[in-house]
Amino acid sequence: MICIIAGNYEEAWTWARGQMLSKSEWFYPADLEELQSRCNFHVVVVGSAGQNISPGYFEKVFHLAQTRGRINRA
């Protein structure tokens, strides 16, 4: 599973489509709560992710994604 952190869903979807990923292989976290409910995934930052949100919030999302992504990894 891949967590795509992007400026918006469209940007994440475009990147995933370019990588020929099916919807079951990736997700775009709409908020921090969604990240809290997931584990065991890779994190990819694409496009304007850091430009469309405040730097502090971006760092919070990115750090949480990295932490949650490592849980239950073999």
Q: Which two tokens stand for residue 27?
A: 């997700």
Question: Looking at residue 15, what is its pLDDT?
Answer: 96
Q: Work out the pLDDT band at 49, boundaries 50, 70, 90.
A: confident
Question: Looking at residue 74, what is its pLDDT?
Answer: 67
State the Cα–Cα distance between residues 35 and 20, nearest whole angstrom: 23
Angle at 29 between CA 33 and CA 45, to 5 degrees: 130
Q: Evaluate if pTM is beyond 0.75.
A: yes
**Between residues 72 and 53, the one the model is more confident about:** 72
Question: Mean pLDDT over residues 48-58, rounded?
Answer: 81
